[in-house]
Structure 1
């Protein structure tokens, strides 16, 4: 079993009333802790002050002086300390929630040269449209998106008592976490060896 050297941040992206995200996020955190390759933290965006209105300054150039609201401090710190991310997202109108886009846009260097995996849920597409859009956004921020992910179509009938009915889901989760662990080790070593040429 791998050492707990890399810090994994699981981000629950939906803030909609009655959302299913915390159920998925809790299950993903359970799988990540059982995997053994990470120190696991979870941030639920419903607990974070994430305004849609952004300052005129770009976080790319403002650095640590970027004027974020005090209620965002926990998120900013968790993003900065993380070596890897799992983004848990639903699909709303063939894309991801505005809350998630705002949380991403309030930050820049916190994503740089770090791997991101996705766990999505939705109707027939299982949230895949949301993931495709997120891959473009996070690539722009110099994050590395992991090829494999977890997708839960028709989640409203595919889960019971906080767990997916598909018995293979934990095996799929292990594959994603194995890849994320490999990328975490590799990119962390790279960041420690030399500054990223952003």
Structure 2
């Protein structure tokens, strides 16, 4: 009997995880839009942030990995703010009070928009495992869709979306060789 239960449980887990890989959105595809309420009851669309790099986090206040991903984002906040990143944090199956209590102890340096999911984001992003982390580029295209990322992995993906730095020009004559003018080339 125990073997049958173990076999059924193993098959269930295998099938559920196999299906999860199919649920992620394709890199390069347009990000699904949704309209949700923030903690003050204002309606916010994900597409309101088009033109910026968006980190879309879908999770809860009680999931240990979700809390860990939030802690990582807090630590990375100053750097992400410099890079013009906005965090859209969608709380699944949560109420305003629990989200406010969770965020009260957090001090997000970067722009952070907490939203309460009414099922739209859950359906649009086919959320089965949390935390779900989606990186959306300035053109509203999916760059990454998956589970929790380590800070260095996240930073690498964000850095790749930054415009190239302007070419540096030398500020002094050190290390440069002057070009002779045509007159200097004339011999008497």
In the superposition, the TM-score normalised over structure 2's length comes to: 0.30
In the superposition, the TM-score normalised over structure 1's length comes to: 0.29
Bigger-Rg structure (1/2): 2
Structure ranking higher on relative contact order (CA contacts 8 Å, 6+ apart): 2
More helix by share: 1
